[in-house]
Structure 1
């Protein structure tokens, strides 16, 4: 992907370095090559001011310069130190590398405990993580550290058994040290999961226990998975996934070794992604994702190789979850004239899916257009379950509203039934937005809880999105 070059190549930078090609870029920042021995982080004034206002850095760390009519700030980083965004990072391969990142996380938290760091730039030379303030969903520091250690798998460091399986270079005895250096609360970390106690020494766990079959260790979770507001989908996951995992021995006696692959289909905003995220959180397994952006390639055979690589990684980290998002983008019907390139991709999926399921990889596909998926993919034996996920009904919306408001200060007389009637049959994102908007309106008015007035205004200002309503919006937001 081509990136806009803010600064002309050869421009003199502070400290005597010259601007070279762009390596990474965002709305208000760029990482550029500055010399053979180092890189430079370039930040626009607006982003730099946010870092200062949030107390993350001192002004003297960066050098100010002006190009054209715009003010920039630069920081030179020698190649021996890491300078990268977290999503582009590679898994560390030594304890020292892990400790270095943990120190950066701790030093950043010492300055600001609340700032979201999921989109941060890792600057090892100044022991800091600097956020880019994107609108993507934040994650906890335990997941952030796990993501860094694994090179991109969103797994909490408290899931230490799973982490130990994935991060083969890390001696288990160092994990607690890394967590302690990071400043993350390790109170929820299981000593047994970290592999530091034998089973005979482990404390009694009234909720879950460990099963080990065929060399694959699976943690038994509490017996019931909850998906707030989605009664039928909750029942399906408990019946066809959770119970099989929690009672593996019993099912194996009758020839069922692992849950079958699943497809969730339905209109955009019906809650498919939310359901998969909740299931992933419940199981605490590493999650791998296949989508058009992760496997797409213009080169012959390259896409098939990427597909095989993702499946291989999921199998190596099993038990795990592999999510195939927007299946219709690359698994559409071969009869519709997809061409040889597409035929090869579908054939690769057909080879990989049974093997992955056999090796304890739970495969969940998602699509808005089930009618376009190739019939061979839909055949039982690949995906045994094809589940319609429609917009939530009134009862389901009511359950979601109650769950969303359970940890937010609210008035006792909120009429949630009326709200659920107005939101029924609409995308779940509308319901979530109404709660956020009601909270924003209440806070703006100086209130300490969500009251009926704030909720009513939020409902009135969240109309159904259709072409007719969009034509009358006063500004360009949809």
Structure 2
């Protein structure tokens, strides 16, 4: 691994790495720091991790997490780099929303599922390679407190509620146990609607077609609706598709699996189909769960469009055609995303596989105002702050632009020595973020 001088300086200042741990060298006018490990030691980017092969690997990571937190208790470890040789997890200080350490450990243990290590039972059901006692030891070694070792997160809340149409109880007529029902409802706030700031129409769709069906399973089941149907979200880059799905997954509290070109694409014949099959199997084994298909046009493009060169895609698309209905019957919620819906194979897009195809455009003024209100509410601000002109200027632009303006405004405020966000800094941030839809006027950045 090679780190820039500025990144190494942050690690060194926090005490995570010492100069003797690395090899320092120059490339041109720049200084870099190299960290190397032996073939038997892991050095991996956590976003691309695979699950451990043994308890000892899991314990080594848990120890590194504990040791890292003893030195740096604040930095987010989402997207960090695990260096087994140093027993450290080195943050990359990304601007993405941070995940707590339970999510970081759960993501590592499962090889990519967004499930917290605090939720013991769902995690245990996913990890067939390690026993219960060993898993508890790993979690406690990492310094993570189990919410409830005998039930999944959210189980206590559900179990203490009186029986209702929203909750099933054990009986001869109703064999589903309260524990199974708790698992189904884990993370879903009974009586509270799912909220998606800045995307009111998509919020309403999720509440009607997914959340309400999950919450009122008995009522829908009596009418032949067993589980929410698969959905495709399509729209231009930056319209908020990924953010919306992440919010839904977090709200449901189910294990989440992701299929995208970077995780399943392979140049070897049959390998991609095998990976697709394995991911569907994992999701079904740990149902109820969510399977997210990202950038689906990359591997589900129309088989007829490529002529003879697309013969290798026939097997891959056929695997999806077979698996999607099967997964829905086994309580796997499938949500796919694409920027090029016109490229998708028609056999994939027909009803019965994806019942809902939802267009997600750029937000209007009201939606931008709602997102601004949520983002600004979390920051100290003075009386000059007025989101109305910002919402008007940012309407029709990617949600990432909205988040950038608030983040950049906060940075400018801090740089000016202010401990409160002011309107002048937000307007300055807006001026520094012109729309890129009609050509870019951004700064040029060079990479080695």
Do these two structures clear the TM 0.5 threshold for a shared fold by scoring above it?
A: yes
Q: Contact conserved, 1:392 with 1:424, CA < 8 A, in 2?
A: yes
Asked if residue 122 in structure 1 is aligned to residue 122 in structure 2, the reply is: no
Q: How does 1:302-381 map to 2 (within 5 A)?
A: 302-338=271-307, 339-381=310-352
Q: SS at 2:184's partner residue?
A: strand
Q: State the distance in 2 between where 1:306 and 1:316 align.
A: 15
Aligned-residue offset at 1:303? 1.9
1:105 aligns with 2:65: yes
Query: CA-to-partner distance for each residue in 1:238-285, whole Å, 9 max, x for gaps?
Result: 111111111222222222111100001111111111100000111121
Q: Indicate yes or no: 2:14 matched with 1:54.
A: yes
The 5 A counterparts of 1:158-197 are: 158-173=118-133, 175-184=135-144, 186=146, 189-193=147-151
Q: How does 1:72-471 map to 2 (within 5 A)?
A: 82-87=42-47, 89-92=49-52, 95-133=55-93, 138-173=98-133, 175-184=135-144, 186=146, 189-193=147-151, 204=160, 213=176, 217-220=183-186, 221-223=188-190, 224-338=193-307, 339-468=310-439, 470-471=440-441
Name the one with the larger helix percent.
2
Q: Supply the distance in 1 between the matched residues of 2:276 and 2:399 (Cα, whole angstroms).
A: 31
**How far is 1:164 from its partner?**
1.7
Q: Hey, what does 2:444 align to over in structure 1?
A: 476
8 Å Cα contact 1:99/1:181 also seen in 2: yes
What secondary structure, in the 3-state scheme, does the structure 2 residue paired with 1:443 have? helix
Contact 1:102 1:181 (8 Å CA) reproduced: yes
Contact 1:164–1:194, Cα closer than 8 Å, also in 2? no
Q: Distance in 2 between matches of 1:67 and 1:421?
A: 48
Partner residue, 1:21:
none
- 1:92 Cα shift? 3.2
Task: Write the distance in 1 (CA, Å) between the matches of 2:343 and 2:24.
Answer: 54
Q: CA RMSD in A?
A: 3.2
C-alpha distance in 1, partners of 2:32/2:412? 36
- Other structure's SS at 2:361 match: coil
Aligned length: 429
- 1:401-451 deviations in whole A, cap 9, x for unaligned? 011112111124421122111111111111111100110111111111111
* RCO comparison, higher one (Cα < 8 Å, 6+): 2
Distance of 2:26 and 2:281 partners within structure 1:
48
SS of corresponding position for 1:334: coil
Partners of 1:322 and 1:362 within 8 A in 2: yes
Moved more, 370-379 or 114-123: 114-123
CA deviations on 1:305-338 (whole Å, 9 max, x unpaired) are: 2221221121122211111111222222233235
**Any stretches of 5+ residues in structure 2 without a counterpart?**
170-174
Give the superposition deviation at 1:138: 3.9
> Do the aligned residues in 1 keep the contact of 2:66 with 2:143 (CA within 8 Å)?
yes
Give deviations 1:367-426, integer Å, cap 9, x for gaps. Answer: 112222222111110000111111111111111001111211112442112211111111
